[in-house]
Structure 1
Amino acid sequence: MRHRGAFAFRPWGRCAVAALLPLLLLACKPAAPITEAHPAMWLVEDADTRIFLLGSMHALPAGTRWDGGKVGAAIAAADELVLELAPDQLAAAGDVFRELAPRSAPLAMERRLDPAALAAYRKIEGAGSGFGGDALDDWAILVLMGQRVAQQADLSPENGVEARLTQRFSDAGKPIGGLETARAQLTLFETLDAATQRRLLTRALANSASGVADVKAMNAAWARGDVAALEKVVNEDVDAVPAARAAIITDRNRHWTKWVEQRMAKPGTVLIAVGAGHLVGADGVPAALEAAGYRVVRVQ
């Protein structure tokens, strides 16, 4: 199986990670009518620096138009683009996944899951080619499950925010940077303790019947700029697994906030696009910057 970019999957509760991490995207290209989206975006600025913070969705339905309005103006004004992963790191994600995903020794899924969870797993696996889960860590199975759910929800990475922004900035000859590496993102899961990984897996399976509907509902909230709805999804999901919240959201938000603070010392205009879940709530990047004394304004 070839992994091409970022992922959109829901390893717990509903679908928070679809709004958080951009690894292992799908390759489906469904047809769809044109729909307009108005995602939330913030601006932090001083006398000679402007930094736009755009909440992204890493995979979207075909036909989604999200880059008009204030977002379009920010794209045109920005001197550089900063994503979670620079293009070269996104391209490297598949190789890193294949390196980190295998278990040191196989463990049959029948020995990992209770009968109800095993039945849910077999149902998801049976919707396409097998996952080969016996040979994989629990977190890697979550990635593959999430790909399957996102595919069923007719999401396309080619229409995701990162893919379009990368094309726009590349065509304009503007630099594109990244906040993390592919290895660092996947290591977030690889280094979770075994009990946390198993809890994520079983929680995802317990809620798998509503996976497609949940992903679509979250995309709809993002499209209408409904940060309250996004915050509810993210908090509802990750609060149930505190170790995962710390690794996937809190620690990374703090790191990115420091990056923005350091970048404010350099003149210019920057567009930062990261998973929408990182920009909402009390520990989101905009709130953290406000707490640090910066004036942050929602501009869309």
Structure 2
Amino acid sequence: MRPDTLPFRPWGRRLAAVLLPWLLAGCGAAVPETPARPAMWLVEDDDTRIYMLGTMHALPAGTKWDAGKIADVADAADELVLELSPQELSAAGEVFRTLAPRSAPLPMDKRLSPEALARYRALEATGGDFGGDTLDDWAVMVLMGQRVTQNAEFDPSRGVESRLTAQFAAAGKPIGGLETAHGQLNLFETLDPQTQRTLLTRAVKGTDKAVEDVRALTASWARGDLAALEKVINEDVDAVPAARQAILTDRNRRWSAWVKKRLDRPGTVLMAVGAGHLVGTDGVPAMLGAEGLEVKRVQ
């Protein structure tokens, strides 16, 4: 496992690709380019423009998302802001290794029903033992997300953040982050045991369709289909309210506050975060709109 590209599939079958940037996947064969037009919004005042681009943290080969309006914005932007800065992303592996182990092993057959355990073992069989007995429930989901992403042949080096990071670094433009790796992982580490177990059980239940679902979600993202993205988010998170509050709503509220404060300084900013954070009534654009700011969809 590369320590700088930890995977994650928080709950359900599809959210890895839209919420958190710790995805690791194998490289697929070269394929023809597939055009994508992901959704992007703009909030601005007299001297500041902040573009908010919904990302996929890992993508299949051939996905061409960085043309047209996005290319123009990336060229014009003074800085790039991601969920995690490159430095924080590189620290994620060590943070995971620190937080993931249980204080005492607990066999997976004590955590999962026989049917769920069979699905879990089937996913393990596609690439090797997860070592889940020694890990917290949330950490087991991390490794499951890694495997699903590998099986789908998605690659973080083709993901939006990786490509934008390379572009801004080459241009000598600053790249910042909204959170720390420890802060993101600790969101899951501090969930109560019952919530963690619920998330793990739901994730295992969906393993048979996980690759299909992640690919379908990516197609919705590529079309800029907000209704489809919101449906996926709501289906997965509404079943676990404590997780939704901590992992989605509270973070979006903090990011909205960051956007409002950043408007006090002049410049053009490209803020690129998981697409799941930008859709729905508790997405960042909706939160900003509710506070009286004009937020325009520009792609």
Q: Which amino acid aligns with 1:232?
A: K
Structure 2 counterpart of 1:223? 222
Match of 1:250 in 2: 249
Structure 2 partner of 1:93: 92
Counterparts of 1:142-221 in structure 2 under 5 Å? Answer: 142-221=141-220
| Structure 1 segments unaligned to the other structure (5+ residues) | none
User: 1:26 aligned to 24, 27, 31, which one?
Assistant: 24
Residue 3 (str. 1) matches residue 21 (str. 2)? no
Q: Distance in 1 between matches of 2:17 and 2:76?
A: 28
> Is 2:49 the counterpart of 1:47?
no
Q: Secondary structure at the match of 1:7?
A: coil
Aligned length: 298
- The CA deviation at 1:27 is 4.4
- Provide the secondary structure at the position in 2 that maps to 1:261: helix
* Greater Cα shift, 12-21 or 112-121: 12-21
Quick one: distance in 2 between partners of 1:195 and 1:143? 17
The one-letter code matched in structure 1 to 2:148 is: V
Whether the 8 Å CA contact 1:3–1:26 is kept in 2: the answer is no
In the alignment, what sits opposite 2:37?
38
AA aligned opposite 2:52:
L
Q: Which moved more, 1:256-265 or 1:27-36?
A: 27-36
Gaps of 5+ in 2: none
Contact 1:44 1:296 in 2 (8 A): yes
Give the match's secondary structure for 2:217.
helix
In the TM superposition, what is the alpha-carbon distance from 1:8 to its structure 2 partner? 4.7
Displacement of 1:129 after TM fit?
Answer: 1.6
Identity fraction in percent: 66
One-letter amino acid of the structure 2 residue matched with residue 277 of structure 1 = G
Q: Report the Cα distance in structure 1 between the residues aligned to 2:6 and 2:42, rounded to whole angstroms.
A: 25
Is contact 1:8-1:58 (8 Å) kept?
no
- Report the residue type matching 2:7 in the other structure: F
Q: Distance in 2 between matches of 1:6 and 1:145?
A: 11
Aligned to 1:113: 112
> Which digits, 9 at most, give the CA deviation of each residue in 1:274-299, with x for residues without a partner?
00000000110001111111111000
Q: Which residue of 2 aligns with 1:266?
A: 265
Note the alpha carbon deviations across 1:207-253, whole angstroms, 9 max, x for none: 21110000000000000100110000001100000011011100000
Whether contact under 8 Å (2:255, 2:284) holds in the other structure is: yes
Question: 3-state SS of the aligned residue for 2:54?
Answer: strand
SS at 2:42's partner residue? strand
1:62 aligns with 2:61: yes
Residue type matched to 2:197 in 1? Answer: R
TM value normalised by structure 2? 0.98
Task: Determine if contact 2:101/2:136 at 8 Å carries over to the other structure.
Answer: yes
CA contact (8 A) 2:25 2:153 kept: no
Alignment partners' CA distance in 2, 1:228 and 1:138: 31
**d(CA) in 2 for partners of 1:27, 1:283:** 29
2-side partners of 1:232 and 1:184: how far apart?
A: 27
Aligned to 2:70: 71
Q: Which amino acid aligns with 2:248?
A: I
Q: Deviations over 1:58-78 (max 9, x none)?
A: 000011110111111110110
CA contact (8 A) 2:80 2:173 kept: yes
Contact 1:56–1:162 (8 Å) recurs in 2: yes
Aligned equivalents of 1:134 and 1:7: distance in 2?
Answer: 19
